[in-house]
Homo-oligomer: A and B are copies of this chain.
Amino acid sequence: MSEIDVIVIGAGPAGEVAAGRLADGGLRVAIVEKHLVAGECSYYACMPSKALLRPGELLGEAKRVPGTREAVTGTIDVESTLARRDEVIHDLDDSAQLPWLEERGIELIRGEGALEGEKTVRVGDQTYTASKAVIISTGTGAAIPPIEGIDDVDTWNNRDATTASVRPDSMVVLGGGPVGSELSTAWASLGTKVTLVEPEPRLLMREEPFAGEQVAASLQKNYGVKVILGALATKVSQAGNAITVELNDGRTLETEKLLLATGRKPLVEGLGLETIGVDGSGFIEVEENMSVKGQGWLYAIGDVNGRVLLTHMGKYQAWVASGCILGRAVAATAEPYGSPRVTFTDPQVAAVGITEADARSSGREFDIVEVPTGAVAGASFYGKGVDGTSRLIIDRSDETIIGATFTGFETAEMIHAATIAMVGEVPMSRLRHAVPSFPTRSEIWLRLAEAYESRQD
């Protein structure tokens, strides 16, 4: 490619979406990738974790339902599960992704991209100049917590835990956020003896308290996971294949694998941000249209800008940024509503917008309505007996939803209704007329509407 309009550094979901849209819009696009086209999410995060989680979830349900439970005589086939996981991550080979780029005339440049001044990117010994813009979408990597001895221990991060070819006998997971909670569920369902350590008083601290509480209870009761809350690892050491973890409450854990799920850090090292005077010490700060502050030609999308570390929001930001570069007036309208997110634990935790705690600290006037997710006829057939709670936070000034959390069996597909209600700013009085079908589990919306009505009576 002799002339390039836009250079995208990082071919994860956000980078790919941006490149694709720009190319579809007629621009000449190059995309730089040092590892695998399709990114962390496809090979080491969302996708393989779901492949590891699905059999346990499904077999759990099959064992609950009379008529199928008698047909299930075995346990999960670990080898087959891992083989399917390998299929999902294409055996860490990205060649299946390349035709998509080729069809759009997007040039793939393998290597590490680094800025060398305005609109200029060096990859290896080649230098490329973009006529219009550069987009950084390098994502995040696992953060290493400051624990004594951590550098001398052969720890696992999300990449190791999602791509492992052998099931460990035992695993200590540090961090009870979405990554730690999902991977604890996955490996425990496959037979690993898991201990999950979270310094906060509950799992999934950013969600409504009942979410983390329900997940912890289920992990302990249904998956044999030991959940340790309010404790911090202070020292780790390794002797052969045995890792020892010392906690600040005096307890000592012995384990085969130690998974670090204690947060993410932006992948900004070596990006050459200093050549253009941009702070490269952390997440890259961006404006509402995803352009880097003070640099109209430079955009940062996806995890690396630290706004929302979620694949779908990265893809959305890609749409916003590419729209701007293409000269369309696109605003990141969705962001102020608060991103939707789903944790594929048991129960699943699906949420959008803010929590009660957020609402309280914002000083807004709001109402809460809450019902058990299982309080509908449809729950007689799907996830019978799985605990769950459905809660809406409703702005008192205009009756619109500002937060929704649905925990329970397969609530992942139930949250988009709330996202639409929020982004569409549909008030509760109007939502009462959106009738859910009987006997779907979406009748939880009827229960919530009734709870809202009776609150007002």
In whole angstroms, how far apart are the Cα atoms of A245 and B438 in the complex? 34
**Are A416 and B434 within 8 A (Cβ)?**
yes
Given A47-B380, A74-B73, A440-B420 contact (CB < 8 Å)? no
Specify which chain B residues have a CB less than 8 angstroms from the CB of A83 in the assembled complex: 66
Specify which chain B residues have a CB less than 8 angstroms from the CB of A262 in the assembled complex: none
In whole angstroms, how far apart are the Cα atoms of A419 and B339 in the complex? 21
**Are A435 and B50 within 8 A (Cβ)?**
no
Which one of A80, A341, A380, A438 has the highest number of Cβ atoms from chain B below 10 Å of its Cβ?
A438
Given A316-B435, A435-B419, A72-B72 contact (CB < 8 Å)? yes
One of A53-61, A141-149, A154-162 contacting the partner: A53-61
**Are A71 and B76 within 8 A (Cβ)?**
yes
- With an 8 A cutoff between CB atoms, is A240 at the interface? no
Question: Considering only CB atoms and an 8 Å cut-off, how many residues of chain A contact the other chain?
Answer: 82
Q: Which of B46, B416, B420 contacts A424 (CB 8 A)?
A: B420
Interface of A is mostly: helix
Q: Kindly supply a per-residue 1/0 record for chain A positions 428-445, scoring 1 wherever the CB is within 8 Å of any chain B CB and 0 otherwise.
A: 001111111111111101
**Are B55 and A65 within 8 A (Cβ)?**
yes
Q: Which of B50, B423, B439, B446 contacts A50 (CB 8 A)?
A: B439
Q: Which of B77, B311, B433 contacts A70 (CB 8 A)?
A: B77
In whole angstroms, how far apart are the Cα atoms of A83 and B341 in the complex? 38
- With an 8 A cutoff between CB atoms, is A97 at the interface? no
- With an 8 A cutoff between CB atoms, is A350 at the interface? yes
- With an 8 A cutoff between CB atoms, is A281 at the interface? no
Specify which chain B residues have a CB less than 8 angstroms from the CB of A443 in the assembled complex: 312
One of A28-36, A359-367, A407-415 contacting the partner: A407-415
- With an 8 A cutoff between CB atoms, is A276 at the interface? no
A-B contact pairs, 15 of them (CB 8 A): A46-B439, A50-B380, A51-B380, A54-B65, A55-B65, A67-B81, A70-B77, A311-B438, A340-B437, A341-B437, A342-B440, A414-B416, A420-B420, A423-B433, A424-B426
